[in-house]
Structure 1
Amino acid sequence: MRDDMVKIMGVVLVDDEPAEGVVLRLHPKTGSAAISSGITSKDGSFQISTYSLGDGAPVGEYVVTFVWSEFDSLTRTQVGDRLGGKYAFDDKSKIEWSVPETDVFDAGTIQLQR
């Protein structure tokens, strides 16, 4: 595991309910070009990964985007966004994290609305 990584975890709720399959992406405001991301499990919990599963993200300032698509078994791709694109782009999302130099960053409970 890299020394410059901070483990990041939290929970995503959509309309006050745990949401499975929401993809989170961390967009660095400056510096790192690495893309850090995670996907929520059945209870809405997530861990962020950059280089390996659950390793977290580098210290820094991020805009966090969220997309809640559905799997299309015919095309074998993710399609749509049940959040209507409200959080899909870093210029639209109002959710920002300042990840400090620490072992673990708890992002807490993130409340999204459809």
Structure 2
Amino acid sequence: MILADGQGCMVQCDGCGAVGEAVETRNPRTGSLTAAFLPKGWKFDVLDGEHIHRCGECFAAAVEPFADRRAAFEARLDHLGAGLTVDIAASLGVPIGLGWRWAGEWKSRQFGEAGGMQ
């Protein structure tokens, strides 16, 4: 359903990069956004304070958003260390809040394994 004053805009899936057409309605006097509608089947989430848009396929298939990038994220942590968590997350297109969570889990595994070896 397209509203009479609605304007089409493009939205990109944060999981797979698929592009769809959303509809925005704006106040004609101020130009401020009054409502927005994602394409049918798409979902909107807030993950660690960041806004995430996912297409229907990614939403249905994803147990954990961005799980396909976790191995690459952890490999970069092994190579570069947790001090570059924000840069690693940005380079892989992972929300920074999720990157911090993954880095924390990675650190606990690293220290847990080292503690068990003593």
Interval containing the TM-score (normalised by the shorter chain): under 0.3
Taking structure 1 as the reference length, the TM-score comes to 0.26
**Structure of larger gyration radius:** 2
Structure number with the higher strand fraction is: 1
Higher RCO structure, 1 or 2 (CA under 8 Å, sep 6+) = 1
